[in-house]
Chains A and B, each alone.
Chain A
Amino acid sequence: MEGTNCEYEAFESFRRSGAKPEYVHIKQLEDRRKKLTDFDIIFFPGGFSAGDYVRAGAIFAARVKAASGRDISEFNDSHRPIIGVCNGFQVMVELGLLPGESRLEKRVTLTFNSSGRFECRKVFVRIATRNRMIGSAYVGRNAWEIPVAHSEGRIVLDYPESTFNYLSDGGNILFQYVDPEGNPAGYPWNPNGSYGNIAALSNSYGNSIGLMPHPERIYYAYQAAEKLEPAAGKQFFDAIVAYSKSL
């Protein structure tokens, strides 16, 4: 929809990993010209949907819910991948897809960065759980370089410790921000002040994922500062596409 703007690099990333991506505009869902259940993967790109002048992602989520709420539930129930990055992550939280359990609803929120400003920087993440889609894509390195660019990416929990433990035990914490050696660290390694350095969440089954960092911006090593092959983005999209094909 208007204001969504990371779709080009996401489209190319899927294409490079062997999928046949297609742009779907919210209006096409509303007009019933396209149907989400006809697809194998849903990807909510980043950006500033509707300008983010209200709560980030709220308007996008409301429109998606109205147009395709039932299709999304069906999609999720069939364990097909649903991915949201940055603003797309915020949309997925608004839609209740993440963390994905009714008893966790409204206990996880994305809000303004601790620094109080928009920040564009490269950070490191490490995988924090076993995920059936990601598999072993992120073994072999303690820290994976990945870009972030947002002003509302701080994850806050209602009861920080207990909710964090609950999420952690449930395998909902997918990536955490770390320093270059792979250790948990504060700002700027954790760019937004997220509780427990949470960078990405998944639902318990593992097919719905929301990330603040942008894997679609770092598919190739030459897009990275550290120039290491393979880059985090390729690992991500290859894994999602491979999982989707295995269904």
Chain B
Amino acid sequence: MPGRKRKAAQIVKLIGLDDSRLPAISKRMKLGLSADEMIMLKNYFLSLGRDPRDIEVHAMAQAWSEHCCYKSSKFYLKKYLSGLRQEYVILAMEDDAGVVEFDSDHVYVLKMESHNHPSAIEPYGGAATGVGGIIRDVLCMGAQPVALLDSLFFGDLKSGHGEGQLDQRFVFNRAVAGIRDYGNRMGIPTVAGSLAFDRSYSGNPLINAGCIGVARRKDIVRSRVTQSGDLLVVAGGKTGRDGIHGVNFASRSVSGKREDDIGSVQLGNPVTEEALTHAVLEAMEAGILDGMKDLGGGGLSSAVGELCYAGGLSAVVFLDRVPLKEEDMQPWEIWVSESQERMLMAISEKNLPLLDAILETWGLDHAVIARVKEGSNLVIEFHGETVLDLDLAFMTSGPIYCRNYTLPEKKEFTRTQPKEPADLNSLALEMLADFNICSREPVTRTYDFTVRGSTIVGPLTGSIDAETHSDAAVVKPLEDSFRGLVLTSDSRPIMVAGDPYRGTLNTLSEAYRNILVTGGFPHSVVDSMNFGNPEDPGQLGKFVESLRAIRDFCQKFSLPVVSGNVSLYNQNRDQNIKPTPVIFMTGIIDDVRKAIPSYFTGEGNSIYLIGNEDGDLSGSCLLHHLGYENTSAPFVDLDELSSLRKSMDALISNDVILAAHDISDGGLFVALAEMAFGRSIGASVDISETNGGRPINKLFAESGNRVLIEVAPEKEKLLSSLVTATIKKIGTTLGDRIVIENVNMNLIDVKVEDAKRAWSEGLSKMI
């Protein structure tokens, strides 16, 4: 609003207004508050005996947004996930990221977040700032970020676009470019992730970005300030009008009118963030940070509020000192702006010169914007005038809803049985080229996954001219230790849509096996929950069922849930997305040099299948590929997975395994093919002894807790004593063809080269 300089806050008339007129105010000011919440707000100010100023109303709206206070999900998160702790967890779901013991002196710090709504209307900026935000969440704990992951979900690339939507291919390309440009410029390797396509994501893509860092245990900086008299310094990017009302936007559905929402999208500048990272780590190294919080959703409003509230203190804010991009910003705009690359640091006054020097070396804008004080009220001054004076507890805690939900109807788990195709060879090649299965190389190749020199296994692995997918990435974060992090991020939305409880268990089983087959032991879980409208009891029921599965799984395997994210209102018009819990699981490997390859390492070795198969095609890529609507998900036997874990531990400690790969998307056939690709070594396989019924079930079912391993002939005699799970020999590594027989009948006979081509070309035309 040019010409209106230094505009102080306006009074918003609530008192005396009829309750029926309150929703209109919420709408006009883009507050995103419900009628009931507006009444609570009015009553609060009634008790103070005055009307609020606009900045006060905006501050409350930020704090009470779904995004900031988890009002629809908090009750259920607490109910299901709060009991999942392990002694090696240092901070779980308290600060901006989880903190877990790595070795006796070090911790790893991790978090995953979604950035779905901004990406729907501006995929490049939305995805890029999603990466920027997750890096700051890890950085603000005082940790050096060491790896990035991303799980991405897009609409059907072949469908073009619906009315009012961006073209799906455009969204896909721009989102990938956003992640590439931000991650690469930050110099943090993007090492793992997942990518899936389904019609339900048209108009509401999901961008889940994860980050993991390491720190010395004693250097962890808390997201709270406990020293009265400390100064709060905002550093990094300037504050502008970009990203205003981002959290309110993220807490409702995408409207379909992009021009209404575009102002809510934040703009990213990775070079500022790269400098900020250096500066923050130098300040951390100097030991001068008493507390730190990244400025994300809700901007200063939520960062200052939460930093002080968590420490039982409050603050006086001098809002006119915030460095601005646009000088004529109104106080409320400054307070709620979600401009990127900003960090809030608490330090004592005597350390200010040192912090100033560090920030100036890195050319970063910075200013002291507040002083921490005792007392319950947060006060904001703007050019000497008090514009906000609110009880921090009332403001920050937010409402908690225990909304009604309905569970999916108890049902018979039905099995869909497609017709057996005449030509399995063609179907096999088609499946390899399916968007949900084919090579992710066109995407992952554009991410720098070797920067920092600590990536031991990246997204692509194998001989240099024949790479295949890895199961999990392996990162060696410390110079003086061979201990490594094993990272995977998985989702099974088709299965979860079929049955949220079983589907989520399948997701967890896959993540768990990805870590086992890489040679690690699973250590912690981060959940990034992407669901539809929580005001729809059926949608909320799916969320609750998914949480129940996470609890049951993590209890069974003694795994802590250390941080997480909930994104609701993912829908386009009235269509909810497929419920999509993303599981970012971290494992530990004692020695990164012992990481197990996901590809056949030599000819003449034996191929074994561990785990039972039941041939259930529910939720499989095959049914999705053939156009069946899925209504079910396979049963997961957690006792069997436990037995698989013990067997893998024994096999690994006896050096029996040459290579291992889990069976997931695309079933046994795709798993065999991916193992063949990594060094262009074929296989001769006979599946007569496997269960599962008809050939397509045996080849393409994704059910069960199965893995394939490659074993040298001289080690085979050890298997019977080491493996307690079901194990069967199914073939031999051999030649340059993948040949699969079943009861004396040849099912598949393809050259590795041809299979590889089909797999490689799947996505290459789309990017």
B285 to chain A, nearest CB (A): 12
Q: How far is the CA of A217 from the CA of B455 in the complex (A)?
A: 9
Q: Is the CB of B464 within 8 A of A2?
A: no
A95-119, CB < 8 A from B? 117-119
Please tell me if A47 contacts chain B, counting CB pairs below 8 Å. Answer: yes
Q: Is the CB of B271 within 8 A of A50?
A: yes
Please tell me if A145 contacts chain B, counting CB pairs below 8 Å. Answer: yes
Q: Is the CB of A3 within 8 A of B271?
A: yes
Q: Is the CB of A118 within 8 A of B450?
A: no
Cβ contacts under 8 Å, A51 to chain B: 185, 269-271
* Closest A residue by C-beta to B270: A51
Q: Is the CB of A48 within 8 A of B453?
A: no
Q: Is the CB of A214 within 8 A of B465?
A: no
A22-75, CB < 8 A from B? 25, 27-28, 46-48, 50-52
**Chain B binder among A163-171, A196-204, A219-227, A239-247:** A219-227
Task: Mark contacts of B453-495 with chain A using CB atoms, 8 A cut-off: 1 yes-contact digit, 0 otherwise.
Answer: 1111010011111000000000000010000000000000000
Cβ contacts under 8 Å, B272 to chain A: 2
Q: Is the CB of B464 within 8 A of A119?
A: no
Q: Is the CB of B452 within 8 A of A9?
A: yes
Q: Is the CB of A27 within 8 A of B363?
A: yes
Please tell me if B187 contacts chain A, counting CB pairs below 8 Å. Answer: yes
Please tell me if B691 contacts chain A, counting CB pairs below 8 Å. Answer: no
Q: How far is the CA of A216 from the CA of B484 in the complex (A)?
A: 19
| Residue in B360, B453, B592 with the greatest tally of chain A CB atoms within 10 Å | B453
A31 to chain B, nearest CB (A): 8
* Closest A residue by C-beta to B482: A222
Cβ contacts under 8 Å, A3 to chain B: 185, 270-271, 274-275
Cβ contacts under 8 Å, A145 to chain B: 464
Cβ contacts under 8 Å, A147 to chain B: 450
Please tell me if B166 contacts chain A, counting CB pairs below 8 Å. Answer: no
Cβ contacts under 8 Å, A6 to chain B: 187, 451-452
| Residue in A28, A50, A147 with the greatest tally of chain B CB atoms within 10 Å | A147
B261-317, CB < 8 A from A? 269-272, 274-275, 278
Kindly identify which residue among B187, B447, B464 contacts A47, using a CB–CB cutoff of 8 Å: B187
Please tell me if A79 contacts chain B, counting CB pairs below 8 Å. Answer: no
B519 to chain A, nearest CB (A): 13
B446 to chain A, nearest CB (A): 5
Cβ contacts under 8 Å, B184 to chain A: 48, 118, 149
Please tell me if B720 contacts chain A, counting CB pairs below 8 Å. Answer: no
- The contact size tier of chain A is 35 or more
Please tell me if A136 contacts chain B, counting CB pairs below 8 Å. Answer: no
Task: Mark contacts of A1-31 with chain B using CB atoms, 8 A cut-off: 1 yes-contact digit, 0 otherwise.
Answer: 0110110110011000000000001011000
Q: Is the CB of B185 within 8 A of A218?
A: no
Please tell me if B104 contacts chain A, counting CB pairs below 8 Å. Answer: no
Please tell me if B698 contacts chain A, counting CB pairs below 8 Å. Answer: no
Cβ contacts under 8 Å, A222 to chain B: 456, 592-593
Kindly identify which residue among B363, B447, B456, B465 contacts A2, using a CB–CB cutoff of 8 Å: B363
Q: How far is the CA of A203 from the CA of B447 in the complex (A)?
A: 32
Q: How far is the CA of A214 from the CA of B450 in the complex (A)?
A: 9
A57 to chain B, nearest CB (A): 14
Q: How far is the CA of A119 from the CA of B274 in the complex (A)?
A: 21
Q: Is the CB of B187 within 8 A of A121?
A: no
A126 to chain B, nearest CB (A): 15
Kindly identify which residue among B361, B450, B462, B464 contacts A27, using a CB–CB cutoff of 8 Å: B361
Task: Mark contacts of B605-625 with chain A using CB atoms, 8 A cut-off: 1 yes-contact digit, 0 otherwise.
Answer: 000000000000000000000
Q: How far is the CA of A180 from the CA of B363 in the complex (A)?
A: 45
Given contacts A5-B186, A51-B185, A223-B453, contact A121 B271 (CB under 8 A): no
Cβ contacts under 8 Å, B186 to chain A: 5
* Closest A residue by C-beta to B454: A9
Please tell me if B445 contacts chain A, counting CB pairs below 8 Å. Answer: yes
Kindly identify which residue among B361, B362, B448, B593 contacts A120, using a CB–CB cutoff of 8 Å: B448
22 A-B interface contacts by CB (under 8 A): A2-B271, A2-B275, A3-B275, A5-B186, A9-B452, A12-B479, A27-B360, A27-B362, A47-B187, A51-B269, A52-B185, A119-B445, A120-B458, A121-B445, A145-B464, A149-B184, A217-B450, A222-B456, A222-B592, A223-B453, A225-B461, A225-B464
Closest CB pairs A-B (n = 9): A5-B187, A9-B453, A2-B275, A51-B271, A217-B453, A149-B448, A3-B271, A48-B185, A147-B450
Given contacts A27-B363, A217-B451, A217-B452, 18 further A-B contacts (CB under 8 A): A2-B274, A3-B270, A3-B271, A3-B274, A6-B452, A8-B452, A9-B451, A47-B274, A48-B184, A48-B185, A48-B270, A120-B446, A123-B464, A147-B450, A149-B448, A180-B465, A214-B450, A226-B463
Mark B residues whose CB is within 8 Å of A.
180, 184-187, 269-272, 274-275, 278, 360-363, 444-456, 458, 461-465, 479, 592-593
Mark A residues whose CB is within 8 Å of B.
2-3, 5-6, 8-9, 12-13, 25, 27-28, 46-48, 50-52, 117-124, 145, 147, 149, 180, 188, 214, 216-219, 222-223, 225-226
